Structure 1
Amino acid sequence: AEQPAAISRLLKDRLGKHGVELDELSMSNDDLAAIDRVYMVACGTSYHVSLIARELVQDWAKIPVFCEYASELNYKEPLVTDHTLCVIITQSGETADTLTAARRMKALGCKVFAITNVLGSSAARESDGTMYIQAGPEVCVASTKAYTAQMVASALLALRLALANGSMDEDEVRGHFASLEQVPGLMEEVIRRRWQDKQAARVFRNAKSALFLGRGVNSTTAYEGALKLKEISYLHAEAYPAGEMKHGPIALLEPGFPVVAIVPADHVHDKTVSNIEESIARGATVVAVATDGDERVAKLCENVLWIPPCPEEWIVPLVAVVHLQLLARYVARARGCDVDKPRNLAKSVTVE
């Protein structure tokens, strides 16, 4: 419920005479324009943020992006140039693997930029620049508002890079920023619809596993939805880009098996609907996340988590994920789990 306010805070005073104001980067316009590749380094939920950030930076700024789990990067040889930017994403700013990776990238000559929630954290102290997502303290172990705030911060970074290297003009940047400004209101609408998540939670009552599917940026929404379900309800779930379903996961499907499909009104909508049809044909019970007024999905699925129309396709992950966070919460409560303090998990992973 705190997510809309967190995002409003993050966007405040960000639009200035030079488009998006990102003073925290502490790099000149020429240096930003010269960036030829970006490494996004993170763990867990923050890694899912990096996957969306990759799409935005590549689409808008035309810069190739490498997403790496910090724990993996620490044992690899990254391909660093004189103009490589390393972006570390960490809610706590104390994630051991991420900090180790940041130090290593810095030693290789990268500028390191941190997106974090905690003032004065190790990530903030050790980076060349830090963007605080200002989400406020996140009490529960499973990250929710930090996830969406980090995504908004990543979008601002992508816009700043695109403006610096000329891939976008100021009018385009302002257009995308205006879309971001609609996010708090869209999220509030989803939160008002949480009865839909409570209703859909019944699908998981006797489940042993679940499959999450999405395409494009919403394959990441599927990953995050599955992670939330695993973290707080202890129900096994896996996520795939929907087109990969036929390459193995379809073997899981049997009568009553829950499939969560993210199928907004986007350019791949019809492809994802065909995945829903394939799932239903094999007896699966599909919970769809769909855009208001989608009659095809309404006819196919008894359980639909409706989202209001979004101004641009890349806004959908910010809005749709709120439904999946709420769904995981209701499933966890139905299974008698502690939503705020899941077993075996720590809020901040400070060991490697």
Structure 2
Amino acid sequence: MAEQHEPGGYLRATLGSQPAELARLLSDDSAERAASRLRDCPRIFLVGTGTSFHGALAGQFMLRSAGVEAWAVRAFEFANYPPAFRDDDGLILLSHRGSKRFSRDSLEGFAQGSRRWLVITGEGSAIEGDGVVHTVAQEKSPVHTASHTGAMVRLAQVATAIGHPRWQHGLAQIPGLVQAAVDSGDAIAASIREVELVPVAHFVGGGPARATAYEGALKLREATHLVSAEGHDVEGILHGPLVSIQPGQTVVLITQPGPALERTREVAAALGEIGAHVMTVQAAPDDLDEVLAPIVNVVPLQWLAYHASRKLGVDADSFRRDEPAYAAAQSKFTL
């Protein structure tokens, strides 16, 4: 008899596993050792798709704070519209499984002329060998959580090996802070009980928090299927999107001390005048460096996605593969 699946059970279990997984990664020096391949690179591209691109966005700020020119690029664009490479450029590819078409094309195109690359990927990845740094076991839920926070920890380890940034000692706090965020699950559930999420919710963040806003929107879409969530950078929302936000719609603001905080407060004030429902998220303490905060601040948004899926009666683990129209749609392309 087949085991009965609890809707969203895989997502919930993996979400809860993150503190232990991140502690394990921090006790392993494979990322620091692999970083020697990039140590003399003045410019590094970070490449990924979806959640992996959001990890790349967070990673570019980590590397910049370590003294490296760093740019996050979507894999499709990097593979099909590559920049003009320099001999001393480096590449960090982020991929959960190492199997995505344009991620592999990005690596293959770059590796033809250079060995200055790393791949941050899950255990059992389709990409193996020198330059590969592992995160966590492959997730059963398509709504990725631990592989994302794990990839960001790996990026932080690479940054500390390359440049010894000011925040390197803060890495040791991460598992405990993530545990506190994981423990906030019931509070997140209570906070959305009377909140309207359908048909659209918005997420806003500036600087490193932009990556968190994008990821929060993607998680809510993936887990609920019914919410057209939008992620915005803190300045961009003021240049057009603000006028489409209606009274009562939910807007999640990711806050963290840093250059983006004042503008985030101005966005909150503007939303208040409209009558939007504003939720503020900051799980990371004020004294955690802004570039590390995405590892912590994304966890409440993962909970938000999970609890919203339960509120709406959706199995977050299904990815709509059990619905004929969506299964047919997914058969029309390869990832």
Q: Are the equivalent residues in 1 in contact too, given 2:196–2:248 (CA < 8 A)?
A: no
Question: Can you give the 5+ residue segments of structure 1 that lack an aligned partner in the other structure?
Answer: 15-19, 291-305
Task: Report what 1:288 is aligned to.
Answer: 280
Pick aligned residue for 1:51 from 54, 57, 60: 57
* 2:128 paired with 1:124: yes
Aligned residue runs from structure 1 range 264-303, under 5 A: 264-290=256-282
Task: Report what 1:227 is aligned to.
Answer: 218
Aligned residue runs from structure 1 range 305-320, under 5 A: 307-320=284-297
| Count of paired positions | 311
Question: Can you give the 5+ residue segments of structure 2 that lack an aligned partner in the other structure?
Answer: 1-15, 328-332
In 2, Cα distance between equivalents of 1:100 and 1:268: 35
- Using a 3 Å threshold, how does the CA distance of structure 1 residues 109 and 24 change in structure 2: closer, same or farther? closer
Q: Are the equivalent residues in 1 in contact too, given 2:35–2:161 (CA < 8 A)?
A: no
CA deviation map 1:116-161 (0-9, x unaligned): 1123x33224xx411111x233111111011001001011111112
Deviation at 1:204? 4.3
Task: Report what 1:160 is aligned to.
Answer: 161
Q: Are the equivalent residues in 1 in contact too, given 2:197–2:250 (CA < 8 A)?
A: no
Task: Report what 1:180 is aligned to.
Answer: 171
Query: Normalising to structure 1: TM-score of the pair?
Result: 0.82
* 2:187 paired with 1:196: yes
Residue type at the aligned position of 2:60: R
Q: Are the equivalent residues in 2 in contact too, given 1:207–1:258 (CA < 8 A)?
A: no
SS in structure 2 of the partner of residue 65 of structure 1: strand
Task: Report what 2:33 is aligned to.
Answer: 23
Q: Are the equivalent residues in 1 in contact too, given 2:97–2:138 (CA < 8 A)?
A: no
In 1, Cα distance between equivalents of 2:260 and 2:83: 33
* 2:314 paired with 1:322: no
Q: Are the equivalent residues in 2 in contact too, given 1:289–1:307 (CA < 8 A)?
A: no
In 2, Cα distance between equivalents of 1:265 and 1:65: 22
In 1, Cα distance between equivalents of 2:186 and 2:317: 20
Deviation at 1:264? 2.8
Task: Report what 1:296 is aligned to.
Answer: none
Deviation at 1:351? 2.9
Deviation at 1:309? 4.5
Q: Are the equivalent residues in 2 in contact too, given 1:87–1:114 (CA < 8 A)?
A: yes
Q: Are the equivalent residues in 2 in contact too, given 1:38–1:66 (CA < 8 A)?
A: yes
Residue type at the aligned position of 1:240: H
In 2, Cα distance between equivalents of 1:86 and 1:25: 11
Residue type at the aligned position of 2:172: E
Task: Report what 2:100 is aligned to.
Answer: 95
Q: Are the equivalent residues in 2 in contact too, given 1:230–1:236 (CA < 8 A)?
A: yes
% same residue: 27
- Using a 3 Å threshold, how does the CA distance of structure 1 residues 263 and 225 change in structure 2: closer, same or farther? same
In 1, Cα distance between equivalents of 2:127 and 2:31: 21
Aligned residue runs from structure 1 range 130-149, under 5 A: 130-133=132-135, 135-149=136-150
- CA RMSD in angstroms, aligned pairs only: 2.3
In 2, Cα distance between equivalents of 1:59 and 1:307: 18
Deviation at 1:185? 0.8
Task: Report what 2:20 is aligned to.
Answer: 5
* 2:315 paired with 1:341: no
Residue type at the aligned position of 2:107: A
In 1, Cα distance between equivalents of 2:233 and 2:315: 30
In 2, Cα distance between equivalents of 1:206 and 1:221: 18
Residue type at the aligned position of 1:76: Y
- Using a 3 Å threshold, how does the CA distance of structure 1 residues 25 and 159 change in structure 2: closer, same or farther? closer
Deviation at 1:332? 0.9
CA deviation map 1:235-275 (0-9, x unaligned): 00111111222201111222211100112344433331221
- Which has the higher mean CA deviation after the structures are superposed, 197-206 or 83-92? 197-206
